Chains A and B, each alone.
Chain A
Amino acid sequence: MPDYKWPEAPKRTWIGKRVSRLDGPDKVSGRAKYTYDIKRPGMLYGKILRSPYPHAKIVSIDTSAAEKMTGVMAVKVIQGAGKEIQWAGDEIAAVAAVDEPTAEDAIRAIKVEYEQMPHQVVDTDPKVAEAKPPVEETKGDPEKAFKEADVVSEGFYGSNVMTHCCLETHGSISEWDGDKLLVHISTQAVSGIAGQMANAIKTVPASNIHVKMDHVGGGFGSKFGPDRWGIETALISKMAGGKPVKIMLERNAEQAVAGSRPSAYAKVKLAAKRDGTLLAWQSEAWGSGGPGGGGQPPLPYVFVFPNHKKQHIAIANNVGPSRAWRAPNHPQAALITMGALDDLAAKLNMDPLDFFLKNIAMTGQRAENYREELLKGAELIQWKKNWHSRGDKAAGPVKRGLGLSLHTWGGRGHESNCDLTIQPDGSVEVKMGTQDLGVGTRTALAIVAADTLGLPLDAIRVRIGDNDYPASGGSGGSTTIGGVSSSTRRAAVDARDALFAKVAPVLNAKPEELEAVGGTIRVAGTPARSLTWKQACAKLGGMPLTVRGKQLANQSDLTNSGVGGIQMADVSVDTETGIVKINKIVAVQDCGLIINLKLSESQCYGALIMGISYALYEEKVVDRNTGLMLNPNMEFYRLAGSGDIGELVVHMMTGPGYDDRGVIGLGEPPVISPGAVISNAIANAIGVRVSTMPFTPDRVLKALEQKGGSNASV
């Protein structure tokens, strides 16, 4: 029975080390090609006409002028007369032309008559338009708990809508060769696209759809499907005789319709004893996410209360639908819950660190992890030395404060298949129909294969990004690293063992006595009895050895689910301007056995930066009268820049208790808490809660004003 177990720490050569990403040189040199970069022979450029109205019926559509234009090869109606449009930016028609300027001109030549209908784009009022019936849940006896509590704390916490803002917009290139469709697409699910396209197009089987993608410029949860525009690209290519057609979304379309993170607002009441013991939670929450409503934040977050009463209303609005945004619903849940807990701690006049530690058992299974992580974080940010009770008393307009938050995530590895081939000349190839969003998938595959086979990293050729390769799951839910490392591990172990079987007789040993170390196959304990890797592989004879490693969805020997993680923030607030500055954020994160420590740290830095960005600058602003997104650009939809992040400290938890849990995903957990920690640090600094994120100067000043005019004097 093969032993796939991850090697113990002393035996690991690559696993857990800081390894530079293998595709780094391609990316820094500009050689890396993304879907947006690809030019296929004879390629046409496509553009899409989008609805200028948030709610309208199409009365008529006249594409004749566009069709007559020189250089226009195909025009296709996507939603024609009679169709009802539910959000501004929705697709109406597409054109394919010899170049982009011609395609743009053709779009402008299409005449559409709309019958405007009343629209609803407000998402901050729960009474406006319910997408589905309210969801309610009661546990224990919250009414009694509130009556008997020593302290009750109330607050309002909210997070506005934001977008994914992938730098590479959504899009694809489709071309037909007879009944075969070739698709280059910007996606986070290389193996899943063909099935979805086949279902939508209906006249081509999935097995005739070849999907390729070497690199992708961001996904963050928004690129799991071909989307309607991807389907239409394939269809308009067919109309143009099968010629390749490329349609990449423009930035304004990307911001408006290619996904967003639902808003979430909550009125929260907490009950506690004088000593800080939590008793009950009550929340009324609501949020939006397009016509179907958005997701529901898991409240209360991380802490399991003995008594709770909660309600959630999903608001329907005429805005492009929300999509999974990195750790769906958790950032909102953390903001609401950790904010409410922090307010309660302040009311109790307790240090939130002590308050959280006191109630840590309520976090369940990971309580001890959280304790360990909180103490580590406290050490790194010097919490005890720097913390003061709510409201910085320092002189001058700039106030400084600390905040903390906990989070959790699942992250068990997804289904994955890996083909590992050892050639008789010693070269090794790993093939997998997976994708690398920047998480370092390629490098992880090489690390696991090289570690298992006892080889240097550059001995492994990694091939991904093609659905001709063995299927592997989409990069979502932080399931990639667990899935791909497990399937690769199994493939590598089986390949290694098969090689051992061939080599053992030559070394006069039994296969189970052999080990693959330092580029050799040798008898364990007697290193003199060895062959070099090349010599060993030559024993394969004329045929390469290919082994498929499979990771099934429920296999848990190599991967696991459930991580913790804590963060602490140190911010300064200029109370005359409402401007928040990040001084320092500390992240202490666990994710089981780490495959690549360098890239894991990068993942956390990146998540902190994305968190600072959504905490301070990002929001989708939709005009209530026209239903249009007012900031579908990167000028007023603002991302944090390099000078906005302060000092970031990342500490990964490793060693006993962590490594032995197996590989768990990391993509999402560290992006959950930044909003919460910044919110709490601001409250600690200025003495009042700024309820709604992003914490822009207007909101900070308003909170100060309501507190009692500490900004009344300039």
Chain B
Amino acid sequence: MRAFEYASAATKQQAVSLLSGTMGDAEILAGGTDLLSLIKDDILAPKRLVNIKEIKELGGIRSAGGGLRIGALTTIEEVADSSLVRQAYPGLAQAAAEIAGPQIRHMATVGGNLCQRPRCWYFRNGFGLLGQDKNGKSLVLEGDNRYHAILGNSGPAYFVHPSSLAPALIALNAKIRIFGPAGERDLPLEQFYTVPKSASDRENVLQAQEVLTEVVVPAAKGVRGATYEVRQKDAFDWPLALASVALKMSAGKVQSARIVMGHVAPVPWRSQEAEQALVGKGVDEASAKAAGEAAVQGARDLGHNAYKIQLAKVAVKRAILKAAKGTPV
């Protein structure tokens, strides 16, 4: 790694004052499970790391207004093991439980997971966020794109967003709170993610001196939630496709649905097409399959990733069936 300063913030105000107004000059150190790798690979070269793990108010899960307030420093394991989360938001608990392996789950945080950078191997080999050669040509399109996006892939960004928590939280209509120089702001997690248009953009709206401080999940009474992940290895393998669904059923029919896919697009991908295909129907193999097909209507093969279209379909179908089998909260 290139040398950097290190400071540990005691409060979120202190964190803001330690960060830099120039994006990339300083980075937030939470779990560190990816930040350090990015610096080791010289993808990021911050002059200062600001450790936020001492900021007490960023930790903890507690009930809030019928829903749940999850501090950004909550570890993945804490989310997966929390009885509050498992009871009220099984889809979120399932998503967290499948992330990586135990060591990562002990270290990685909710905030870090939501803000993590793409795994795109062109990005990680030093070709910039958009994976371009020095002439601006997309190495992704011309190269090996087996792990790249099938949706939202008109370019120039072709990576997939690698958060497994984001789809589950978006399915639950979660909001996040951001603290920065101008104070606090809240926004729906669904609006947090952006598709970069240039290599200097980032994948979310967090500004240079801002810190994601907490996630607020509204009450999910009567909701059946589930997350289904498709990955090749038994464990510790990046998902090839993931779907998180939250269903409200009444008299055996789907009243409303939120269906969000992960690892298939540059942002967590909510599919209103899949939701509409399901609303008003009972849940069975046929209707779940139809929703899966609707979810990938706009999907496009980049040359090496057609199989991800199939996997996304299956993830949506199986997530729906899994949710319907579960007991409502």
Q: Hey, which bits of chain A sit against chain B, CB under 8 A? A: 101, 104-105, 108, 576-579, 616-617, 621, 623-626, 628, 630-631, 635-636, 638, 640-641, 643-644, 696-698, 701-702, 711, 713-714
Q: Give residues 235-288 of B contacting A (CB, 8 Å).
A: 235-238, 240
Partner of A697, one of B292, B304, B311, B317: B311
Chain A residues contacting B133 (CB-CB under 8 Å) are 625-626
Check A638/B121 contact, CB under 8 A, given A624-B143, A625-B142.
no
Q: Give residues 216-243 of B contacting A (CB, 8 Å).
A: 230, 232-238, 240
Asked whether A623 lies within 8 Å of B139 as measured between CB atoms, the reply is yes
Q: Which of B1, B121, B289 lies at the interface centre, i.e. has the most chain A CB atoms within 10 A of its CB? A: B121
The interface bits of chain B over 129-170 (1 if a CB of A lies within 8 angstroms of the residue's CB, else 0) are 000010000010011101100000000000000000000000
**Nearest 6 Cβ contacts at the A-B interface:** A643-B234, A698-B307, A630-B121, A701-B307, A714-B313, A714-B289
Asked whether B317 lies within 8 Å of A714 as measured between CB atoms, the reply is yes
In the complex, A625→B133 CA distance in Å?
Answer: 9
Chain B residues contacting A616 (CB-CB under 8 Å) are 232
Chain B residues contacting A641 (CB-CB under 8 Å) are 233-236
In the complex, A94→B292 CA distance in Å?
Answer: 54
Chain B min CB distance to A396 (Å): 11
Check A711/B310 contact, CB under 8 A, given A108-B2, A630-B144.
yes
Check A640/B144 contact, CB under 8 A, given A104-B1, A626-B133, A714-B310.
no
In the complex, A220→B144 CA distance in Å?
Answer: 28
Asked whether B125 lies within 8 Å of A713 as measured between CB atoms, the reply is no
Check A617/B232 contact, CB under 8 A, given A697-B307, A698-B146.
yes
Chain A min CB distance to B292 (Å): 5
A-B contact pairs, 9 of them (CB 8 A): A576-B310, A576-B314, A617-B232, A625-B143, A641-B236, A697-B230, A697-B240, A697-B307, A713-B289
In the complex, A631→B119 CA distance in Å?
Answer: 11
Chain A min CB distance to B284 (Å): 13
Asked whether B232 lies within 8 Å of A696 as measured between CB atoms, the reply is yes
Chain B residues contacting A105 (CB-CB under 8 Å) are 2-3
Chain A residues contacting B3 (CB-CB under 8 Å) are 101, 105
Compute the total of residue contacts between A and B using a CB distance below 8 Å. 87
Q: Hey, which bits of chain B sit against chain A, CB under 8 A? A: 1-3, 119, 121-122, 125, 127, 133, 139, 142-144, 146-147, 230, 232-238, 240, 289, 292-293, 304-307, 310-311, 313-314, 317
In the complex, A635→B100 CA distance in Å?
Answer: 11
Asked whether A636 lies within 8 Å of B121 as measured between CB atoms, the reply is yes
In the complex, A474→B122 CA distance in Å?
Answer: 39
Chain B residues contacting A628 (CB-CB under 8 Å) are 125
Chain A min CB distance to B142 (Å): 5
Asked whether B235 lies within 8 Å of A697 as measured between CB atoms, the reply is no
* Nearest B-chain residue to A636, judged by Cβ: B121
7 additional contacts, CB 8 Å, given A623-B122, A625-B143, A702-B307? A104-B1, A624-B142, A630-B121, A640-B233, A644-B234, A698-B304, A701-B310
In the complex, A636→B146 CA distance in Å?
Answer: 12
Chain A residues contacting B292 (CB-CB under 8 Å) are 714
Asked whether A579 lies within 8 Å of B2 as measured between CB atoms, the reply is no
Chain A residues contacting B230 (CB-CB under 8 Å) are 577, 579, 697
Chain B residues contacting A644 (CB-CB under 8 Å) are 233-234
Chain A residues contacting B236 (CB-CB under 8 Å) are 641
Chain B residues contacting A631 (CB-CB under 8 Å) are 121
Asked whether B233 lies within 8 Å of A697 as measured between CB atoms, the reply is no
Chain A min CB distance to B42 (Å): 8
Chain B residues contacting A617 (CB-CB under 8 Å) are 232-233
* Nearest A-chain residue to B313, judged by Cβ: A714
Asked whether B289 lies within 8 Å of A635 as measured between CB atoms, the reply is no
Asked whether A578 lies within 8 Å of B307 as measured between CB atoms, the reply is yes
Chain B min CB distance to A55 (Å): 16
Chain B residues contacting A104 (CB-CB under 8 Å) are 1-2
In the complex, A577→B243 CA distance in Å?
Answer: 14
In the complex, A641→B234 CA distance in Å?
Answer: 8
* Nearest A-chain residue to B127, judged by Cβ: A626
Chain B residues contacting A636 (CB-CB under 8 Å) are 119, 121, 147, 238
Chain A residues contacting B307 (CB-CB under 8 Å) are 578, 697-698, 701-702
In the complex, A558→B208 CA distance in Å?
Answer: 72
In the complex, A677→B230 CA distance in Å?
Answer: 25
In the complex, A311→B139 CA distance in Å?
Answer: 35
Asked whether B121 lies within 8 Å of A714 as measured between CB atoms, the reply is no
Chain B residues contacting A108 (CB-CB under 8 Å) are 2
Asked whether B233 lies within 8 Å of A638 as measured between CB atoms, the reply is yes
In the complex, A52→B169 CA distance in Å?
Answer: 41
In the complex, A697→B238 CA distance in Å?
Answer: 13
* Nearest A-chain residue to B307, judged by Cβ: A698
